[in-house]
Every structure is written in C-alpha cells, then in structure tokens.
Amino acid sequence: LSVDYIIVGSGPGGIIAADRISQAGKSVLLLERGGPSTGETGGTYQANWTKGTNLTKFDVPGLFESMFTDANDFWWCKDITVFAGCLVGGGTSVNGALYWLPSDNDFALSAGWPSQWTNHQQYTSMLKARLPPTDAPSTDGKRYLEQVSTVVANMLIPQGYRNVTINDSPNAKDHVYGYAAYDFIGGQRGGPVASYLRTAKARKNFQLQMYTNVLNVVRNGSQITGVKTNDTSVKDGFFPLNPNGRVILSGGTFGSARLLFRSGIGPTDMINLVKNDPVAGPNLPPSSQWINLPVGYNAYNPSINMVFTHPTVDSYNNWATVFTDPPAADAAQYLKNRSGIMAQASPRLNFWSALGGSDGTTRWLQGTARPGAASITTTLPYNMRRSNLHYNRISVVGIKSRGRIGINAALNGVPLVNPWLNDAGDKSALIQGLKNIISTVPQVSGLQLIMPDNTMTMEQYVAAYDPSTMNSNHWVGSNIIGTSAGQAVVDVNTKVFGTNNLFVVDASIIPTLPYGNPHGHIMSVAEQAAAKILALAGGP
C-alpha cells in the first residue's frame, strides 16, 4: 500500500509535518521506531501511585527528573550515545517541556536562515494557536515550590534584570527573567502529541505505525521510491511511495543524519562506515550515486551547572522519590485535579542576558533555576554541603563553537568533535556571564554558591568542567538549511540537495541554536517547512 508522504520519526518535527500534510488531504504514513509514551498513545509505564489511572510517567510533569534516575529507561535511544527520546513524541515525551515562542532573531539571516525563512511570525502564530504556552501549569492556577524563584530574582534584580512574562515578548532576551513556561495542557504533558498528533490521528488519510525502524531510504539516483524498515510483515521491509511521493526525515539531529548516511548521503568517511557494516552495507546505492553533503557538521550546544544553597529553598528531596514515593499530599492533590507540585516539571525561573565577547560578537546566556540538584554530579570537592540546594543551568547561544556528529563503526549516533567551547571568545563570554550572575550573591542574605565553591575561580571551574556533562541536549545543525550544497544539506524548501523528493524536518536543519530551549523553535520551523513542502511543485 503506497502513500503520498512517508514521514520518519514522531518527534515534534515529524508530528507537525504529518498533521499539516494530512490536513491538506495527502495520504501520510508516520513511522516511529519506538513505542507509545503518554496514556493516550497507549503507554502503560506508570508509577505505583498513579495505578488505576491512565497517567504514565510521561504524562505527569512532576516525574520529569525521574527520567534520569530510572533503571528501566527504555525511552532513550540505545544506539545514540547522548540523550534522545525513542518513543512517540520523541524528545517532547521525555523532556522538561520548557517552551519558548521563537524570537525574530531566532530566524534572522545572521542566525544562518535563508531570507525565505525570516518572516516566521505567521507560522509561530499558527503554533501558538494550536499549542499555547503556560507559565502556571497547575490547574488551580497557583504556583508551587517557588522559593528558588524569589532567591534567584533577588540575585538578578541588582544586576538590572526585569521581570517579564517571557512568551509575551519573545524578542526581549536581555536582562529579563520570568516564570518557566511549558507546553503542558491541563496539568499533564501536552506538546505536539496532545495537539497535532490528535488531529492527525482523526484523519482517515493518516496512519501512525510504531515499532518500525527505518533503516534507509531506497533510491534510484536522486529519486526516492520508498523506505526500507525492520518490519518483517512487508516484503523486504519496504514501504513504497506513490508516484511523485515524498519522504520526510524527522528522526532528530542524530537519527536523521544516520538515515542519510545509510542512504548514501553525507561525507564519504561516514558512508564508508555504513559500507563496512555487513547488514547496512549491501543496502547502500552504488558509490557512483553517493551524494556528498556536509551532514553532521555544524552541531553544537554547551551548558554548565552551578549549585547554590539557600535556607528558604525546599529542594523537594532532590526529586529523588517522585516516582517511587512522593509526598502523599502532593500525589493526592495531583490525582484529584492535576494541581500542585506534580503538575510542573522541575524548572521554576528562566533568565536571559546578552554577553559581549572579546572578539566583538554578542552571545546570549540563558539560565534555568530549579529547586533540588537531582542528577548533578561533580568530581570537584565541595567545602560545604547542605540539603537545600538549587541549581542554575546556564546555556550560551549565539556562539561560534561548532562540532561534528556522526556514527561510529557500530553505526551508533555519536558526537565526533565535541562542540562545546572550542572558540576562545565563546569561552571568555561564558566565564564572564557566570561571573556576572554570581556577582550579587553577597547581596542575598543566606545565599551561598557551592559549585563552584570558594576554593576555585570561575576560570578554573570552567576549565575543570567534565566535557561529557556540558551537553545541553539541544542538538541542532547536522542537516543545516541553506542555499548551496557545499555549505548546506537541505535547500530552502528543506529538500536534500541532489535529491528530487527527500526532505528533512526536525532540529537538524536549524543553523543556529535559538535563544531558549529549542522545541518551540523546532515546532515553528516544522509549521513553516510543512507549508513550503506543500507549496513546492512536483509533489503528490
């Protein structure tokens, strides 16, 4: 049974593309390698305290931190060496759900976007209409566990920061702070799964097939005829396209890059790894049909943690027992009407400021403050420990550092060249930004910085920071969009250079990290990409 569009991967990119394209009347098959996530998708993985409801671990926002401490963490892609969600919803079913409407700068020419993409507002508006952000996710409209917000605001105000509702003015990203905003709906995980996927599923011309791992696209030169999968119920695992049909890769920054390598598209060193693999090698097109594109280059995203203590902060036992044994009153309150602490993920306050750089380039710093220091480990000695911890996670964007991602000989997705701080200006800007933040610690009574502690300078802290923990999970750029094949992987219509009918719609096409946690930006990108793909002549 052939279709107009095969979309590979049900992350935010794939779901939005699938919904908009099926809305336009095209037949769409969405193939997802993982299984269900939230209760409405058929997921069943639950905390004991939610048994008897259809609330899974993925539904309950307050269970977010337990994603990192659960022995049964089946949701992570096991063949990618950094965190990536392999289940319905992709990253948006397991992430912190911090949700920022993109700013104009996130789509600027200076951020690497082609001019055809800079007028994003109509697409961002479509996204906002389908999936409005909230900074008060508890259904009673109250905010819980906010001591950390007060403490951090008191630290930032003397530095000239002002309080804003962040998504009301997406362009204001200098010296602002505000409540964390999410795409939770009704006190539960919402995101693209509880919005766009719902409407897609209601259409007869849409089908989602789970547990189907796409291995490669099948192509004859530049023409894609379908995809090869692990599905043994169809001949050769092959899903064909209609004449003029199209394939859209939405497997994420690592997943889509690997699919391209396995389809003979990308740098020769990567395709040769595929060629040497006894299973994947024979599915490659002949080397005369390989398409050399800079797949995997341009990836990046650093972040760094600091830990503070303050006597007023309730660290919520570092979120250690939320899955197994949460405070009974909080569990009961949540089950009653989706309100209280369990209706929100861990972040409480977010802040941004512009940073200079020794080279005259402006970078921006984003901070996320939350109570508790779950899953923070450091090899550095503390000279003080207390129970009421909170942490700030600092990411820098607008930076020059770039790395490379790809695959290893086992065809696992891996960072090849760490993208962290390989530009001196980025590094000095980050150090300056961290110093700025802590400059007012002495002005907040009772506030103490314990990581780094007072035995080391910020320079020493950054130099000693374990690079393997500097990853913000905000991978973008492996299939960068652009106007020429030498510099980019996909063209202004998100079509892979050198192909007639292969597209990429996910984080990987984004040329520069947006100001904030990226999935809001990715969804606006997907809205725009779907419109451009539908408008492009020659399709089904």
Q: Looking at the annotation, which residues are catalytic?
A: 474
For ligand ABL, the closer of residues 29 and 434 by Cβ is: 434
Tell me how far apart the 2 most distant CA atoms of the chain are, in Å: 69
Per DSSP, helices labelled H in 76-221 are 121-130, 147-156, 196-201
Q: How far from chain centre, in Å, is Cα 160?
A: 30
468 touches ligand ABL (CB under 6 A): no
- Total residues contacting ligand 6FA (rule CB under 6 A)? 38
Contacting ligand ABL within 321-350 (CB under 6 A) = 346-347
252 touches ligand 6FA (CB under 6 A): yes
Give min distance, CB of 160 to ligand 6FA, in A.
Answer: 26
User: In this structure, what token pair is assigned to residue 193?
Assistant: 């799964």
Residue 374's binding partner, choosing from ligand ABL, ligand 6FA, none, with beta-carbon cut-off 5 to 8 A by kind?
Answer: ligand ABL
Place of tokens 């169809």: 234
434 touches ligand ABL (CB under 6 A): no
Nearest residue to ligand 6FA, scored by beta-carbon proximity: 11
Look up residue 72 and give its DSSP letter: T
Residue 180's binding partner, choosing from ligand ABL, ligand 6FA, none, with beta-carbon cut-off 5 to 8 A by kind?
Answer: none
| CA–CA separation, 96 and 117 (whole Å) | 27
Length of the chain: 540
Query: What residues have CB less than 8 Å from 303, skipping those under 6 apart?
Result: 393, 394, 395, 396, 470, 471, 472, 474
145 touches ligand 6FA (CB under 6 A): no
- Find the part of the chain contacting ligand ABL (CB under 6 A) among 213-221, 368-376, 421-429, 460-468: 368-376
Strand 471-476 relative to strand 413-417, pairing = unpaired
392 touches ligand 6FA (CB under 6 A): no
131 touches ligand 6FA (CB under 6 A): no
| CA–CA separation, 68 and 79 (whole Å) | 17
Q: Name which position in 3, 6, 7, 9 contacts ligand 6FA (CB under 6 A).
A: 9
Beta carbons of 179 and 164 less than 8 angstroms apart: no
97 touches ligand 6FA (CB under 6 A): yes
Q: Name which position in 84, 271, 373, 374 contacts ligand 6FA (CB under 6 A).
A: 84
CA end-to-end span of the chain:
15
56 touches ligand ABL (CB under 6 A): no
Containing H/E element for 194? none
Contacting ligand ABL within 495-534 (CB under 6 A) = 517
The phi and psi torsions of 498 (rounded to 5 degrees) equal: 85, 0
Give min distance, CB of 400 to ligand 6FA, in A.
Answer: 21
| CA–CA separation, 303 and 372 (whole Å) | 18
For ligand ABL, the closer of residues 57 and 474 by Cβ is: 474
Beta carbons of 138 and 144 less than 8 angstroms apart: yes
Place of tokens 């107009």: 4
For ligand 6FA, the closer of residues 338 and 474 by Cβ is: 474
Compute the radius of gyration of the chain from its Cα atoms.
Answer: 23
**Cα→Cα distances 212→86, 225, 299, 358, Å:** 11, 18, 27, 49
Give min distance, CB of 525 to ligand 6FA, in A.
Answer: 9
294 touches ligand 6FA (CB under 6 A): no
Give min distance, CB of 128 to ligand ABL, in A.
Answer: 19
Beta carbons of 298 and 478 less than 8 angstroms apart: yes
- Find the part of the chain contacting ligand ABL (CB under 6 A) among 44-52, 332-340, 469-477, 502-510: 469-477
Give min distance, CB of 32 to ligand 6FA, in A.
Answer: 5
Give min distance, CB of 79 to ligand 6FA, in A.
Answer: 9
Beta carbons of 394 and 410 less than 8 angstroms apart: no
Instruction: Give the per-residue contact string, 374-413, with ligand ABL (x = CB under 6 A; - = no).
Output: xx-----------------x--------------------
Instruction: Give the per-residue contact string, 510-539, with ligand 6FA (x = CB under 6 A; - = no).
Output: -------xxxx-x-----------------
Give min distance, CB of 460 to ligand 6FA, in A.
Answer: 28
Strand, helix or coil at 226? strand
3-state SS, 232-270, equals CCCHHHEEEEEEEEEEEECCHHHHHHHHHHHCCECCHHH
Q: Name which position in 473, 487, 493, 500 contacts ligand 6FA (CB under 6 A).
A: 473
- The residues that touch ligand 6FA, with contacts defined as CB under 6 A, are 8-13, 31-34, 83-86, 90-92, 94-98, 213-214, 250-252, 255, 259, 473-474, 506-507, 517-520, 522
> Which residues here bind ligand ABL, judged by CB under 6 A?
65, 68, 96, 98, 346-347, 368, 374-375, 393, 472-474, 517
